[in-house]
Each structure stands twice: as C-alpha cells, then as structure tokens.
C-alpha cells in the first residue's frame, strides 16, 4: 500500500451524530459499550482506503461521464463502473437503497444505504456527487466490506428490544422522538443483526441510541448522541444535567388557521453579545453575569431589531415565523412569552428577553442562507414544517445547549451566562442543524473527529465577524462564545488553532482544525464566498465523513461552482497548512455529455463576480447559436446571445449581474446538436 498520503482519520461506524450541543456533559453511567471505529487513510490523490479491508472510503478528482438520466441513475452507473475499485461486486449496487438526493449549486448529492439481506447496514452510506452535466467527480463511501450474517431474520421482536432499551434507560415522561429499525451493526469481530432504538425522552434527558442483538436480545451498545461543545478533551466540564421533575408541555399555542396572521414586531436583543457590541472584556464594570442581573451597561448594549413575520393568533403575538418557532418542551418550563403587544422590549434579566434573542438569531441566519446565498436549507424532520423549533430555557437550567437530529429541536441552558444571550451559542447550535439539513438524511451529519463541532464554531464566528464590530487584530476575532465563555464559567474555544491535524482530542479540540482552516480562507475571500463553498461542500458529505474528506468535498464544490483558480489555490493551501491531505480537483470538461467540439464557451472572468463578467464563444463550423443564463432551479434569467456565428469567429459575451441575486448561475450555449455549459457565481 502506498502511504505517501498520510492523512489518518478515525470515522465512527456506529456513531449516529444527529444531536449536538454547545457544551459537553459528563459521560452518563447509562452508557454501555463503545463505538466501532474505522481507520481511513488517503493513499493517492484520487483514493482513500479503509486500512482494515483496503476498500475505498473515497474516490476524488474523477471525471466519469454518465449517460443522460436522473441523478440517481447516473450515480448508480458510476458505482457499477467502479465497483471493483470500490471493493464490492457490481451486482451489489442493486442492493443499495436510495436514501435521498439533495440538489445545490455544486450539483447533486445522491445518498445510498448499503444493505445486506434487505437490512440496512448501520451508518454505511455512499454519497455520489453528480454535476448538472452528468459528471461524477467525487464519491464518499461508508461501505462496509466483508460483512456477512447467517440469517437476517430477527428472533427478538422490535417490541421486546424496545422494552429492553427503555428498561435500561428508565424512560419516564413524554417522548419527543422515537424510532426503531432493524440494522446490521458492524463490530470488531464481524457484524450483528440488531434493533437500533433511538429515543429522545423527558427522563433521562438526552438523545439516546441503543443497539439490541436481534437474535439473542443482548443490549450491547447504549450511547447518548447529544454532542457537547466542550468536554473532557478540553478540561473539566459542567456537572451532570439533573433529572427533570416536571413533565414537558405541548406546543406553546395551537395554530388556528382561520385566526392566524403574520406581522412584524420589534425587539431589543444582543447583536451579537454585549461585550462585542461595547468593545469591552468580561469583568469590565457592569459586564459580568452576576446571576443574570441587569446593569446599566448591559441594558445599553442591546440593539433594536425587527422580529420578522411573527404570528398573531387572535390578540396574542407569538414568536413563531417561517424560520424559527418558540416552543417549551424542556424544564424549567417558563413558557414562550406570547403577549398582547408586538414589542419585546425587555432587559436581559427578563426571561422574555432570551426568547426574542434566539428568535432573532435563528431567523436572521436562516434567511441569510436561504435568501441571500440562495441555498435551500430547512429542517426535514416530521412535525417541523421546515421551521427550526427552539426552547430558549431548557436543560433544567444546566450550562448546556443542544441540537437534536430526531426533532430538529434546539434548546438552550441557563447555567453561567444564559446560553441564549450569546449569538455565538445560538448560531453554533443552529450550525449543527444546518449541517444536518444540508446533508439531508436522517442518519445525520458526521461529527467524526469533531467535524460538526468545528462547523458550528465556523458559522458562529463567520456571523460575528460579518457584523463589522471586530478587527482581525482583536483577540476576540478568533474567539468562539465571547460572552458565554472566555470567563469564569469556562474557557470557550478559538479559531486560530496553531496545532495541525489530527492533533487534539475529539471532538472539541479537534473540531478547531475545521473552523481554523476555513476561517483562514474567510480572512481573504470573505464571508459569502467562503460560506457558500463550505455549505455546498458539506452537502456532498455523508454520515461518517472525516475532516480531510469534507475539505476535499469543499474544494470539489468550489470547482463545480466555477470558483477562480486563485481562490481554489488559497483554499487548498489553508487545508494543507492545517494538516489535511487534499488535492486540487482538476478542471473538468464542462460541455454536456455528447457535446461537440464545434461549440465551446470560455471560462467566465472574473468568477465569482459582483458586477460584469465576460466569456468567449467559439464554434468549429458555422451555425446558429443561442446562449442563455439560468439560475440554479433552471429558470432562464437572461439571453446573452442569439444569432449566427461563423467558423473561427470568437465573440465575447458580457454578463451584467447588477440585477441578479447572489448565487450560482449556469451559462448554456446551444447550437445545432451541440451544447456547452459554464457556471458563474454572483456575490454581493
């Protein structure tokens, strides 16, 4: 085996990282067993392997041209063609079940689940990137080679397995989410047929996964999949979360469609936190938590904002809108603070203040992704209606916050500085959701070695920097949790981590590699360009993707979106500096499959562009040509050229983007039987 490429990574095979939190808790005594880990190493610029089996865990820098068809059909064609290289028989591709296909500005991400005997293999996903032109440049594989069971018929019923898990956990009170599925669970000695029970109960608090052997009934793995944002790998964490005494309430209000109206309200909130707003440090007179006490300084640090599109039910205004929904399901059950006026003018000592603070943070950031960047990113979980649910006063008041993948719920604790008073905490927790929504599969995004933790830190700092209140020379420029952390309660984290990957304990220390490498890119390319590449790259990852694989996916997404070579070079250099083994994706022939060399489009310049861009059109033989500009959902937004072009003639076309929203666009030239395609990224 060629070990020139030394990126060693551990990806959890049994990890279901679908719930994340801003701080870690101590390991619960209810946990049982340990996760089975895969060792993945990059052995060439085009391939990474599982060291145990030699099976591919990733294929990169490909230029496979699929026949016309749906993205799923094209992805299956690629998997069939490369089955031997990937470590399975071509006939096995038919056993892969299609999970979901998500579309974005970097093309499609087609997700499959590996099955054996008709039973899905736990966290064994295969993700294939298919571009608009039917090419496959990248595939990330959680395929588990060498697994085999004598039977795939359970001897233990799902109900009995559920009862075993519930008895072990001592489940009490309402259950927010529950799912039971028969799976093949890889282990160090092979595999076990198992019932996977996932549950989010009131007691014990957490998002639990239990694996019960479906033949013997043995409970062999129990884990709380709430991922916390500082923990044993960062030093001493907070105490165990106390058991809830009360029973969770139903949603804050029942929406009566005939009585519901949407209106704008006003509020006073922290944007992003009082220390950054006042440009002072924690401990300055008037700028300490002091058990949530008001001070003149903290009250003056509030900002007047519009709370957009909240809900009016009868005569009550509720903080529920198209992007965020205030609920109350977790102790201490303080309510959602609906009121008779559309004005949330409270000081930080009032509990209504935190609800408005969280609503504003989630609503603002979700609009930025979906509207400003044009990236579709919403909760897909049942019961959410595509809206992020949150509880601004949760965790029994403990110093913690979380995202739960089963319900897409965010909850914020009150220990130390109230978590819902710091935009870094709000956006960090939302970041886990964004990661999950982008990947789009119930298996969740990967937190292998802290990937999702690092992403939460990245989005929190990206948002904070964008407000223009800090300068790169300020220490706080690279701080995460600037009000909630870096104080007497806990040390927070940084995004100028000087160590190189994979130094540090997972997930929290090691997550700083991901935030540091991407924010170093941000320093040069700016917010929207970097955010777009990172978001679209993560869309191409799976449930067990490592940080180096995610970095390669970001580079591929940027290449697919037509980023300028100088930008790609800078991104590659930052990832290499951090210690990732990654390679530059080659420039693909962007003509559609079957296109003739008699028609070609030059590379748009500049790209990305904020004003005007130009590109050339050339033909090998005289023909009539039409060149049009399309948005990412296929709507034609401009005609750039229509007419006859003589052989050897090379007209220059101009694209005026002044009236176009930020996003990725497709330039398509059609002439005779030939078609050529280029992509253009518009920034603002």
Of the CA atoms within 13 Å of residue 175, those in its CB half-sphere come to 14
pLDDT in tens, 133-155: 899 999 999 898 889 999 999 99
Is the pLDDT assigned to residue 44 strictly greater than 80? Answer: yes
pLDDT in tens, 483-541: 999 999 999 999 999 999 999 887 888 999 999 999 999 999 999 999 999 999 999 99
Residue 674, phi then psi, degrees to nearest 5: -105, 150
* 514 Cβ neighbours under 8 A, 6+ residues apart: 450, 451, 453, 454, 455, 457, 458, 547, 550
Rounded Cα gap, residues 125 and 106, in angstroms: 20
Share of the chain above pLDDT 90, in %: 66
**3-state DSSP call for residue 260?**
strand
* 680 Cβ neighbours under 8 A, 6+ residues apart: 562, 604, 607, 608, 609, 613, 629, 655, 657, 664, 665, 666, 667
Of the CA atoms within 13 Å of residue 614, those in its CB half-sphere come to 5
For 114-119, what is the mean pLDDT? 96
CB 249 within 8 A of CB 256: no
Give pLDDT, residue 3: 33
Is the pLDDT assigned to residue 249 strictly greater than 50? Answer: no
pLDDT in tens, 367-396: 999 999 999 999 999 999 999 999 999 988
Rounded Cα gap, residues 337 and 87, in angstroms: 56
Give pLDDT, residue 673: 59
Looking at per-residue pLDDT, the higher value among 448 and 467 belongs to 467
Give pLDDT, residue 666: 81
Rounded Cα gap, residues 198 and 277, in angstroms: 41
For 607-632, what is the mean pLDDT? 87
What does the buried/exposed string (b/e) look like for 300-324 if buried means 16 or more CB atoms within 10 Å of the residue's CB? ebbeebebbbbbbbeeebbbbbbbb
| Lookup: tokens for 597 | 């060399």
Rounded Cα gap, residues 230 and 510, in angstroms: 11
Give pLDDT, residue 240: 29
In 3D, which of 102, 217, 111, 109 has the Cα closest to residue 159?
Answer: 217
For 174-186, what is the mean pLDDT? 93
pLDDT in tens, 67-87: 999 999 999 999 999 998 888
Give pLDDT, residue 245: 29
pLDDT band at 2 (very low <50, low <70, confident <90, very high): very low
* Candidate from 50-64, 101-115, 326-340 with smallest mean pLDDT: 50-64
Q: Which residues pair with 389 in a beta bridge?
A: 325
pTM of the model: 0.83
Rounded Cα gap, residues 682 and 661, in angstroms: 7
Rounded Cα gap, residues 634 and 657, in angstroms: 17
Is the pLDDT assigned to residue 424 strictly greater than 80? Answer: yes
Looking at per-residue pLDDT, the higher value among 409 and 590 belongs to 409
**3-state DSSP call for residue 58?**
strand
pLDDT band at 340 (very low <50, low <70, confident <90, very high): very high
Rounded Cα gap, residues 387 and 68, in angstroms: 35
Is the pLDDT assigned to residue 626 strictly greater than 60? Answer: yes
Expressed in percent and rounded to 5, the helix, strand and coil fractions of the chain are 25, 30, 45
For 222-245, what is the mean pLDDT? 50
* Candidate from 135-139, 162-166, 627-631 with smallest mean pLDDT: 627-631
* 537 Cβ neighbours under 8 A, 6+ residues apart: 106, 550, 551, 553, 554, 555, 556, 557, 558
**Pairing label, strands 324-326, 388-391:** parallel
CB 35 within 8 A of CB 13: yes
Give pLDDT, residue 20: 53
Give pLDDT, residue 227: 63
Give the burial class of 215: count Cβ atoms within 10 A of its Cβ; 0-12 exposed, 13-18 middle, 19 or more buried: middle
H-state helical runs in 147-241: 158-169
| Lookup: tokens for 684 | 């603002």
List, in order of start, the domains of the chain with CATH numbers. Answer: 8-141 (no CATH), 158-227 (3.10.450.40), 599-682 (2.60.40.2550)
Give pLDDT, residue 168: 97
H-state helical runs in 406-526: 423-439, 451-466, 508-525
Rounded Cα gap, residues 59 and 54, in angstroms: 13
Is the pLDDT assigned to residue 12 strictly greater than 50? Answer: no
Is the pLDDT assigned to residue 656 strictly greater than 90? Answer: yes
For 577-593, what is the mean pLDDT? 78
Give pLDDT, residue 239: 27
Is the pLDDT assigned to residue 9 strictly greater than 90? Answer: no
Give pLDDT, residue 22: 54
Give pLDDT, residue 633: 55
Q: pLDDT averaged over the chain?
A: 87
Looking at per-residue pLDDT, the higher value among 62 and 11 belongs to 62
CB 554 within 8 A of CB 538: yes
Is the pLDDT assigned to residue 23 strictly greater than 90? Answer: no
Give pLDDT, residue 605: 84
CB 101 within 8 A of CB 73: no
For 331-351, what is the mean pLDDT? 96
Provide the residue count of the chain.
684
pLDDT band at 38 (very low <50, low <70, confident <90, very high): low
Give pLDDT, residue 244: 31
* Candidate from 304-308, 404-408, 645-649 with smallest mean pLDDT: 645-649
């Amino acid at each position: 085996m060629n070990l020139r490429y030394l990126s060693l990574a551990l990806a959890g095979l049994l990890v279901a990282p679908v719930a994340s939190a801003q701080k870690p808790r101590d390991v619960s005594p209810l946990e049982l067993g340990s996760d089975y880990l895969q060792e993945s190493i990059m052995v060439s610029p085009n391939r990474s392997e599982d060291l145990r089996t030699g099976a591919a865990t990733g294929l990169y820098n490909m230029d496979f041209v699929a026949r016309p068809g749906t993205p799923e059909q094209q992805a299956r064609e690629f998997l069939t063609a490369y089955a031997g290289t990937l470590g399975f028989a071509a006939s096995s591709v038919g056993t892969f079940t299609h999970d979901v296909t998500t579309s974005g500005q970097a093309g499609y991400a087609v997700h499959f689940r590996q099955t054996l005997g008709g039973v899905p293999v736990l966290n064994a996903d295969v993700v294939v990137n298919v571009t608009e032109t039917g090419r496959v440049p990248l595939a990330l594989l959680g395929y588990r080679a060498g697994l085999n069971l004598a039977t795939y018929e359970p001897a233990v019923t799902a109900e009995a397995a559920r009862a075993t898990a519930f008895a072990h956990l001592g489940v009490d009170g309402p259950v927010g989410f529950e799912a039971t599925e028969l799976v093949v669970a890889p282990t160090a000695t092979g595999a076990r047929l198992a019932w996977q029970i996932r549950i989010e109960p009131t007691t014990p608090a957490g998002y639990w996964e239990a694996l019960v052997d479906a033949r013997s009934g043995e409970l062999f793995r129990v884990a709380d999949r709430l991922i916390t944002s500082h923990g044993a790998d960062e030093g001493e964490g907070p105490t165990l979360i106390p058991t809830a005494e009360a029973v969770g309430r139903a949603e804050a209000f029942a929406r009566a469609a005939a009585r519901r109206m949407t209106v704008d309200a006003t509020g006073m909130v922290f944007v992003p936190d009082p220390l950054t707003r006042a440009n002072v440090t924690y401990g300055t007179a008037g700028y300490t938590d002091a058990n949530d006490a008001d001070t003149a300084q903290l009250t003056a640090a509030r900002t007047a904002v519009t709370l957009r599109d909240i809900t009016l039910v009868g005569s009550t205004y509720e903080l529920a809108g198209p992007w965020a929904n205030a609920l109350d399901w977790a102790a201490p059950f303080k309510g959602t603070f609906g009121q008779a006026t559309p004005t949330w003018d409270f000081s930080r000592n009032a509990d209504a203040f935190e609800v408005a603070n969280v609503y504003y943070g989630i609503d603002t950031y979700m609009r930025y992704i979906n509207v400003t960047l044009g990236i579709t990113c919403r909760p897909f979980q049942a019961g959410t209606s595509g809206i992020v649910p949150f509880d601004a006063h949760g965790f029994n008041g403990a110093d913690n916050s979380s995202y739960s993948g089963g319900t897409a719920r965010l909850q914020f604790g009150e220990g130390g500085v109230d978590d819902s008073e710091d935009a870094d905490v709000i956006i960090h927790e939302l970041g886990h959701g964004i990661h999950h929504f982008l990947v789009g599969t119930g298996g969740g995004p990967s937190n292998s070695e802290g990937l999702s933790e690092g992403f939460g830190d990245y989005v929190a700092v990206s948002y904070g920097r964008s407000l223009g209140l800090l300068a790169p020379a300020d220490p706080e420029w690279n701080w995460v949790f600037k009000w909630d952390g870096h104080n007497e309660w806990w040390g927070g984290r940084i995004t100028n981590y000087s160590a190189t990957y994979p130094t540090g304990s997972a997930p929290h220390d090691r997550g700083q590699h991901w935030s540091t490498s991407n924010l170093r890119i941000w320093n040069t390319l700016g917010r929207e360009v970097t955010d777009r590449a990172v978001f679209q790259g993560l869309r191409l990852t799976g449930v067990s993707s490592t940080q180096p694989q995610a970095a390669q996916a970001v580079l591929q997404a940027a290449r697919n979106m037509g980023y300028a070579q100088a930008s790609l070079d800078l991104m590659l250099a930052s990832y290499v500096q951090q210690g990732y083994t990654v390679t530059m994706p080659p420039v693909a022939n962007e003509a559609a499959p079957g296109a003739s060399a008699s028609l070609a489009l030059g590379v748009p310049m500049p790209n990305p562009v904020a004003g005007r861009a130009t590109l050339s059109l050339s033909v090998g033989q005289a023909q009539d040509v039409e060149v049009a500009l399309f948005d990412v959902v296929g709507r034609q937004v401009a005609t750039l050229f229509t007419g006859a072009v003589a052989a050897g003639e090379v007209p220059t076309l101009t694209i005026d983007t002044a009236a176009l929203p930020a996003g990725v666009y497709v330039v398509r030239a059609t002439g005779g039987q030939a078609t050529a395609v280029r992509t253009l990224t518009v920034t603002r």
